[in-house]
Chain A
């Protein structure tokens, strides 16, 4: 990945349908060779952005600049950009070979060059042996791979993937995630992936843009987005998260605050600036929480609750714990057979602990956008 080279720039994009604004003043820079993901719930505008990059839709205003050239008025068929569609959209009357060769033929590539290039692309997705089949004779995963080969064979500057894995079953999807990432590294082509699946986004991307209702929520690496969500929407959309309400008691120093949560006072770090009296959310990932046995004597020092439910998940053991205020918190711990303290019963009193600093403190939001 070459961080310094801006491959694609979207500047001030506007789009509305029937007077309803989908995007306004949208800016984005995508670097050469990165795996970029547009993540958001359906209707957030991510597919509209993809369609405008592909040329299937034209922006109402703004420009799309590819390697310094404004391509916003260039029709889709003339853009050096290819798409892997959600529905694969393979040509049913053509063989796998002809499907993959289609783009090359349309561009007028010399006939004797077509065959080796098509076979190379098919080999890359391990389908060279099925070149003579029709799409209907392939499994979903194989069709997916043909769609990828059909797009990458044209050596596009940018490859767009529109929810490309969502039609596959769980196991195949996981496998294809790895394959896609491997392929992207190997080809060095910039991938722009659109999905509503946060797990997919986290596992494949170099950078993720989280969107909601046409607005950018956060742009960052998967780690930044998971560990330091910019707002409550991002925190809730990316993975499970527990939300506790608190209030700043005093400022202790640089980004360190005394915070009152669940009747107890904690010293917490925060990226935001607060003053005493500010309402805050304290967010904790379920996997960062530890559940421990507690006796009545020590109970006053910890976040204490009663076990409501225990769910064995194989890899992890999930506990739903009701705190004193009535809020329910999920803790997800790796299963350890040798640890006897793991055996809690419903209604048992337990303490919740976490490594200091793993919590996220952010300003309380009034309108709570549901993820």
Chain B
């Protein structure tokens, strides 16, 4: 198991968003987190990468346990070095070119020599099919291209797991396809991914596990095939029915 979360709790003021969530991710897993808006999916992902601080819970990464309520800056730094994050609205560095976006974390945070970083960066951009856009600024790229640069940026640092927070929600259907196809390639290469998504096709066909959340708890966690074909919980069945009607 590469990542395990146990009993994670998070409140914003009086609003309890995560009410004790458990999650397990094995090496090579592609886990889709599904659920209606406001179910806590994004908050869960952000807590796991410390963009939000959970009030309680345990996290085991690579066999190393951490207490989420009293995690130190140093531990956060160490964990972030092994993970990467892809945002819904890309969050590319606006003052950097596509290539610089990809190399920044290598050169600044990991002190990789520049020539080597550029080489890694170019490979990462080639992987997402954007070698010819290396010198473009984010403002000169389409949403789909920006998100692919963001995926290249995530890949460049050689993470053990990549977190995706609704990576296609800001894109129109045409551009969604190009991003999903990059993600499918990664999955086939065995990249471990934890993906908050509304893309049922991706959850069904690419991911091997599905976690269904509602109201801050996990309602059902199952292998994708099982989840879609024989859901155990009544709530899951309702959700799937609603989706299929759309």
Q: Do A and B come from one complex?
A: no
* A interface with B by C-beta (< 8 Å): none
Which residues of B pack against A, CB within 8 Å?
Answer: none
